[in-house]
Amino acid sequence: MKSGHYFSLLGVIFFSAIMPVSVAISATVADWQWIKDSYWYVPKTNLPALRFNAIKGTVAPVSDQTVFHISDYVDGYFWGKTVVKLGQGSAKCMSLVGSVTPEGSVLLSFTPTDATADSAVTQGIGTMIQKAGEWTMQNQMSSGSALLQVSHWAYMVQTGPGKQSWLSLPGVGQSVETFLAQCPDGPQRTVR
């Protein structure tokens, strides 16, 4: 075996060993149809986020509970409403528009429901990953102005009626229904 082939084979073996086998391998975007009408939240272990204050040059931890209801899904695209609560601040209402590839890569875009031309859009990336037999959405995002930013990653998990998290969300102590009721519904699909 030539040395170049040997090292290539070692590379394949090495990367196969470290790559998570639970990453989604899906044949088509239709396989993600099940996310329609699903609810996602940040579990307690993933609440800590990082707030960067550019004026002071400081970073500080902040709790970030984010809940979204994916109300619809078509051909790899989804949308819905999002409510975010940072620390002791008031809830922020956002519209969610995103996509998921057949392989489970996720792109998220959050726009304030009271958006103006100068409003910032928060973008995030993620991957659908199975943990303990359940699908999670491993997301990373960064938002804010040049002066004050928040960075956060989390394994967002599903919730629904009958689950403890549905009745009392970590970090906010409210039910999902009460938490989401603070904001208007998300985007609606137009029919041509």
Residue 192's pLDDT band, with cuts at 50, 70 and 90, is confident
Classify residue 172: in a domain, yes or no.
yes
- Give the percent of the chain with pLDDT over 90: 80
Classify residue 106: in a domain, yes or no.
yes
Decide if pLDDT at 5 tops 50: no
The CATH number assigned to the domain holding 34 equals 2.40.128
Classify residue 137: in a domain, yes or no.
yes
Decide if pLDDT at 101 tops 60: yes
> Tell me, what's the pLDDT at 23?
56
How many whole angstroms from its chain centre is CA 85? 14
Classify residue 89: in a domain, yes or no.
yes
Tens of pLDDT along 163-178? Answer: 999 999 999 999 999 9
What average pLDDT score do residues 111-139 get? 94
> Tell me, what's the pLDDT at 152?
97
**Segment 32-37 long-range contacts (CB within 8 Å, at least 24 positions apart):** 32/73, 32/76, 32/100, 32/104, 32/128, 33/73, 35/70, 35/73, 35/78, 35/100, 36/70, 36/71, 36/72, 36/73, 36/78, 37/69, 37/70, 37/71, 37/72
Classify residue 133: in a domain, yes or no.
yes
Classify residue 31: in a domain, yes or no.
yes
Decide if pLDDT at 155 tops 90: yes
Q: How many domains does the chain have?
A: 1
> Tell me, what's the pLDDT at 18?
44
Classify residue 2: in a domain, yes or no.
no
Range of the domain at 29: 22-180
- Give the percent of the chain with pLDDT over 70: 86
Classify residue 188: in a domain, yes or no.
no
Decide if pLDDT at 74 tops 60: yes
Residue written as token pair 């307690």? 44
Residue 24's pLDDT band, with cuts at 50, 70 and 90, is low
Can you give the pTM of this predicted structure?
Answer: 0.85
